[in-house]
A and B are shown apart, each in its own frame.
Chain A
Amino acid sequence: QVQFQQWGAGLLKPSETLSLTCAVYGGSFSGYYWSWIRQPPGKGLEWIGEISHGGSTNYNPSLKSRVTISVDTSKNQFSLRLNSMTAADTAIYYCARRPDGFDPWGQGTLVTVSS
């Protein structure tokens, strides 16, 4: 049974860079896309991007200029960096595995951007 542990700073100032990491336990790391998804408080879901085991990435064009997703296969971890954060980026950030739909999901990290 695949499980995630995700971590990273939860409070950022405007213009700072978000850095989150998701560790994958209990399953194969290869053969899947590993995704980041966010959800502003009280709102819907937005796909940020994903990375394969081999390092191939896909990004949402709306965030592409600010996003980097990387993978460390030696640790079964993948990471998200989102630069130039603003209040509009305040959200719960989830990691998830995508073979078909997203399954499973991490517990989420609330990231607040405030001066």
Chain B
Amino acid sequence: EIVLTQSPDFQSVTPKEKVTITCRASQPIYNKLHWYQQKPDQSPKLLIKYASQSLPGVPSRFSGSGYGTDFTLTINSLEAEDAATYYCHQSSLLPLTFGGGTKVEIK
């Protein structure tokens, strides 16, 4: 099973700051890494697919990068509505797995 390790677990950030969340895979997964945003009491929402591909309707301040084992989700100029928990997920190998999540709080 591929283990995805996210860091940090928690981040408290001021609006307009830049946020960087990392996800490290226990073995290479090519670019088969996807990012989700989950706001309180809501279902997760796909933000970025295949490491760096944006989804329609997702604000351009969200971007992803990485390949192999190391991946990054970046939120440029954080807004209050970005308070959420962010998860990475790999689809390279079954069983499909998720990272433990990174909670982003607005200061």
Please give the residue numbers on chain A whose beta carbons come within 8 Å of chain B beta carbons, in ascending order. 35, 44-47, 50, 58-62, 94, 98, 100-108
Please give the residue numbers on chain B whose beta carbons come within 8 Å of chain A beta carbons, in ascending order. 1, 34-36, 43-46, 49-50, 55, 87, 89, 91, 94-101
Count A/B pairs, Cβ under 8 Å.
57
Residues in A neighbouring B98, C-beta threshold 8 A: 44-47
Q: List 28 A-B contacts (CB under 8 A).
A: A44-B87, A44-B101, A45-B44, A45-B87, A45-B89, A45-B98, A45-B101, A46-B98, A58-B94, A60-B96, A61-B1, A62-B95, A94-B43, A98-B91, A100-B34, A100-B50, A100-B91, A101-B35, A101-B36, A101-B91, A102-B34, A102-B36, A102-B44, A102-B89, A103-B49, A104-B43, A105-B44, A108-B43
A61 to B96, CA, bound (A): 10
A60 to B45, CA, bound (A): 22
Complex: chain B residue closest to A61, CB-CB: B95
- Check A103–B55 contact: CB distance below 8 A: yes
What is the distance, in angstroms, from B91's C-beta to the closest C-beta of chain A? Answer: 7
- Check B96–A105 contact: CB distance below 8 A: no
- Check B43–A47 contact: CB distance below 8 A: no
Interface of chain B, main secondary structure: loop
Residues in A neighbouring B96, C-beta threshold 8 A: 35, 47, 50, 60, 98
Residues in B neighbouring A47, C-beta threshold 8 A: 95-98
What is the distance, in angstroms, from B78's C-beta to the closest C-beta of chain A? Answer: 22
Residues in A neighbouring B50, C-beta threshold 8 A: 100
- Check A101–B49 contact: CB distance below 8 A: yes
Complex: chain A residue closest to B32, CB-CB: A100
A103 to B36, CA, bound (A): 10
- Check B43–A105 contact: CB distance below 8 A: yes
Residues in B neighbouring A94, C-beta threshold 8 A: 43-44
What is the distance, in angstroms, from B103's C-beta to the closest C-beta of chain A? Answer: 11
Given contacts A47-B95, A98-B96, 11 further A-B contacts (CB under 8 A): A45-B87, A45-B98, A47-B97, A47-B98, A50-B96, A62-B95, A100-B49, A101-B36, A101-B89, A104-B43, A107-B43
